[in-house]
């Protein structure tokens, strides 16, 4: 995943809801690999909430 992210832009990671462990695990792995924390954000509400709030989406890859 790291090679598909641009560290000069903020990347927001989120799962299907607050109980999903995948995004926090991915963030930990990115940080351990040296990816800058300032380029990462985590939205705990999940993708459904994000879309319901009319927040922007962009597909990578």
Handedness of CA 38, 15, 18, 47 (dihedral sign): positive
Q: What is the pLDDT of residues 47-58, one digit of tens each?
A: 888 889 998 887
Please state, in angstroms and rounded to a whole number, the distance separating the CA atoms of residues 24 and 61.
Answer: 21
Q: What is the pLDDT of residues 15-49, one digit of tens each?
A: 777 788 888 899 999 999 999 999 999 888 888 88
pTM: predicted TM-score of the whole model, two decimal places: 0.70
Locate the DSSP E strands across 4-43: 11-13, 40-42
Please state, in angstroms and rounded to a whole number, the distance separating the CA atoms of residues 18 and 40.
Answer: 17
């Amino acid at each position: 995943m790291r090679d598909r992210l641009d560290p000069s832009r903020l990347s927001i990671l989120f799962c299907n809801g607050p109980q999903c462990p995948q995004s926090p695990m991915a963030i930990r792995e990115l940080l351990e690999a040296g990816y800058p924390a300032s380029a990462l954000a985590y939205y705990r509400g999940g993708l459904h909430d994000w879309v319901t709030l009319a927040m922007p989406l962009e597909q990578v890859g």
